[in-house]
Amino acid sequence: MKPLQKIVILGGGTTGWMCAAMLANSVNTKRINIELVESEQIGTIGVGESTVPPFMDMLASLGIDEVEFIQATQATFKLGIQFKDWLKKDETFFHPFGRAEAGMDELSLYHLWLRAQLNGDTFSRFLDYSPNSVMAQQKRFAPYKAVPGTLLADSRYALHLDAGLVAKYLRNFAQQKGVKRTEGKVEKVNTSIDTAPRILSLQLESGQTINGDFFIDCSGFRALLIGDALQSSFTDWSTYLPCNRAVTVQSEALPELPPYTKATAQLAGWQWRIPLQHRTGNGYVYASKYISDEQATQTLLSNIQGKTLTEPRIIPFTTGMRKQVWKANCIGVGLAAGFIEPLESTAIHLAMRGIAEFLQQFPHSDCNPALINEYNARLQQDYEEIRDFIILHYAATERNDSDFWAYCKNVDWPASLVQTVEYFKARGDVPRKLAPLFESTSWRSLCEGMNIRPSAYSAFIENADYKASKQHMQNYKQQLVSLVKQIPTHKAFIEQNCASSSK
Ligand SMILES: Cc1cc2nc3c(=O)[nH]c(=O)nc-3n(C[C@H](O)[C@H](O)[C@H](O)COP(=O)(O)OP(=O)(O)OC[C@H]3O[C@@H](n4cnc5c(N)ncnc54)[C@H](O)[C@@H]3O)c2cc1C
């Protein structure tokens, strides 16, 4: 069996350079050449600025210094997402990262809390036990690694970052590790004449030919290799998630930097706000069946805090994924592989998963079908888990004030989501999965926010002393609030530890 000798990456957006960095960090670039082709003329999509905690693990695995990265990308810390007006108007809930367990195990805490609620003893909200939620409420921040052994040790964080600066940073990193960059526009993809064609080379507008024995398609929504050349079909999930466009605009930095993304439901979709050190990212994700581009732009502009810095830009998209994200000698990664609307900021994570799983299954040049099948199954599971989690934000709404929300309420749920929610109602937890992104605290926060609760608490906590456990929970809650009061505000933390020098 022949080992791979040359891997070609098409695309230099966040995905392409993240892919180059992760590959170059894992393989010997003297034995396996890695070449990335990108076209400045085409450019990148330029959005994708809110991440989830595994992004921090990726930076650590590359040996990237977190402070240096934050300074270079104008990043701020993200403790979770605040959801406003999703269940009904003027109701807000928070999806925190990390766990809520109050020094017990997560399931016991949830059921003890549930027992109090069901008995009408409403002395606390579930999120009073989430360190991330309490920090976010007070707009304060301390990294969990700096406070070991305290109540904040269960917290986790991700980053809000400038997508353009991230690609630039990772490009530098990858090039230093031996990745070759070629500027040029791919005009033609040469494939073998075969019943199951493989990619042979990329032909650039300049006439140059780039050969390789494995190709990674990071060409964004164009999907030039996995879609156009290899014809991997697309599974469309728009029936479940009808939003298909976004209008985006940047505005000046917020005076106090909230350590969370804000997602506000609107009449035909929702609006994001992502605070960076030097500016704020904003966008309205909407379903074009229910609102025009002009109306969506108007709504976005009338709901922005501070001055806008750019002209509004419309980005069309389709929610779904390729049936085979690995086909023949090519994987699609990032937007080329699929896209689920950005409500839970999961696209960069899915791209990371695509690369990490490729490294896990790393093939010889024959690309054994068993590896391909396993890869495709794992990626499908990742995409479907996230799809289901996002559908629930819409499908459990009690809103009835627009045709859009009426549609969302009546959508047929995928069987996997029906099963998850049924299980949740029975157990207060979600079925175990292999390496899920969203764990119990995420589902509990979302379900609580969308008014989905088990109708009974678990019998196994009947033995717990109600008075003692209530006392413990009340003490924990108070201690957590007063501990958080002692840590710096998010803004002060950034100023003192990782402010970017260019504003
Ligand atoms: C509205 C919206 C909001 C989003 N928000 C988030 C978020 O908050 N969090 C998150 O994780 N993700 C988010 N995403 C997704 C995120 O933007 C992408 O995952 C991320 O930017 C990576 O994109 P990419 O690199 O796959 O594609 P792109 O950035 O489009 O890059 C494609 C690359 O391919 C190159 N290319 C294309 N065609 C050719 C050709 N013919 N020849 C040579 N080069 C070519 C381009 O030059 C470019 O370098 C969002 C996406 C959208 C649409």
For residues 346 and 445, membership in a common domain is answered with no
* Closest among 464, 326, 450 to 394, alpha carbons compared: 450
**Which residue range is the domain that position 227 belongs to?**
6-75+161-236+319-380
Using CA atoms, how far apart are residues 276 and 76, in angstroms rounded to an integer? 6
Specify whether 43 is located in the same domain as 138.
no
Asked whether the predicted pLDDT for residue 336 surpasses 90, the reply is yes
Do 394 and 484 sit in the same domain of this protein?
A: yes
Predicted confidence at residue 105, as pLDDT, reads 87
DSSP string over 433-478: -SS-SS-HHHHHHHHHHTT---SS--GGGTTS-HHHHHHHHHHHHH
pLDDT of residue 194: 84
CA distance 384 to 382: 6
Of 169, 140, 143, 202, nearest to 72 by C-alpha is 169
CA distances from 261 to 78, 130, 361, 417 (A): 7, 17, 34, 25
Inter-CA distances, 368 with 216, 217, 346, Å: 17, 19, 29
**Mean pLDDT to the nearest integer, 193-220:** 96
How far apart are alpha carbons 38 and 184 in whole angstroms?
6
Residues 54 and 177 reside in one and the same domain = yes
The mean predicted confidence, pLDDT, of the chain is 96
Q: What is the pLDDT of residues 237-257, one digit of tens each?
A: 999 999 999 999 999 999 999
| Across 308-328, average pLDDT | 98
pLDDT at 197 over 90: yes
**CB half-sphere exposure, 460, CA atoms < 13 A:** 7
Residue 434 has pLDDT above 90, yes or no: no
- 3-state DSSP call for residue 38? strand
> Of 340, 358, 380, which residue sits at a domain end?
380
User: Is the per-residue pLDDT at 502 higher than 80?
Assistant: no
Residue 305 has pLDDT above 90, yes or no: yes
Counting ligand 1 atoms within 8 A of each CB, the residue from 166, 221, 348, 353 with the most, and so the one to mutate, is 348
- 462 — pLDDT class (breaks 50, 70, 90): confident
Residue 497 lies in a domain: no
Residue 102 and residue 222 in one domain: no
Taking the CA of residue 41 as reference, the ligand 1 atom at the shortest distance is 47
Same domain for 63 and 191, yes or no, is yes
Residue 415 scores a pLDDT above 80:
yes
Read off φ and ψ for residue 234, nearest 5 degrees.
Answer: -110, 125
In this structure, the answer to whether residues 144 and 154 fall within a common structural domain is yes
pLDDT cut 90: percent of the chain above it: 93
Q: Calculate how far, in angstroms, residue 307's C-alpha sits from the geometric centre of ligand 1.
A: 26
Mean pLDDT, residues 202-227 taken together: 98
- The mean per-residue pLDDT over the stretch 163-173 comes to 97
Residue 270: its H or E element:
strand 269-275
> Exposed/middle/buried for 66, CB within 10 Å: 0-12, 13-18, 19+?
middle
Say if 341 falls within a structural domain. yes
The residue from 316, 341, 366 where one domain ends is 316
Q: Within 10 Å of residue 257's Cβ, how many Cβ atoms? A: 23
What is the Cα–Cα distance from 153 to 147, expressed in whole angstroms?
A: 6
334 lines ligand 1 (CB under 6 A): yes
Question: How many separate domains does the chain show?
Answer: 3
Is 50 close to ligand 1, i.e. is its CB under 6 Å away? yes
Q: What is the pLDDT of residue 503?
A: 61
Residues 298 and 404 in one domain: no
353/295 same-domain check? no
Sheet containing strand 269-275, strands side by side: 92-96, 80-84, 261-266, 269-275, 279-286, 245-252, 313-316
For residues 390 and 484, membership in a common domain is answered with yes
User: Is 89 a member of any domain?
Assistant: no
Judge residue 501's burial from the number of C-beta atoms within 10 Å of its C-beta, 0-12 exposed, 13-18 middle, 19 or more buried.
Answer: exposed
Q: How confident is the model at residue 225 (pLDDT cuts 50, 70, 90)?
A: very high
Q: What is the CATH number of the domain that holds 71?
A: 3.50.50.60
Name the closest-CA residue to atom 51, ligand 1: 48
Section 382-407 average pLDDT: 98
Please determine, for residue 356, whether its predicted confidence score (pLDDT) is greater than 80: yes
Q: Give, to the nearest 10 degrees, the angle between helix 14-26 and helix 54-61.
A: 50
Q: Which of 10, 19, 42, 45 to mutate to test the pocket of ligand 1 (most atoms within 8 A of CB)?
A: 45
Distance CA 51, CA 446 (A): 18
pLDDT at 164: 94
Question: In this structure, are 339 and 458 located in the same domain?
Answer: no
For residues 265-292, average pLDDT: 98
Considering the domain architecture, whether residues 31 and 50 belong to the same structural domain is answered as yes
pLDDT at 1 over 90: no
Please tell me the distance between residue 151's alpha carbon and the centre of ligand 1 in angstroms: 38
Indicate if the pLDDT at residue 333 is higher than 80. yes
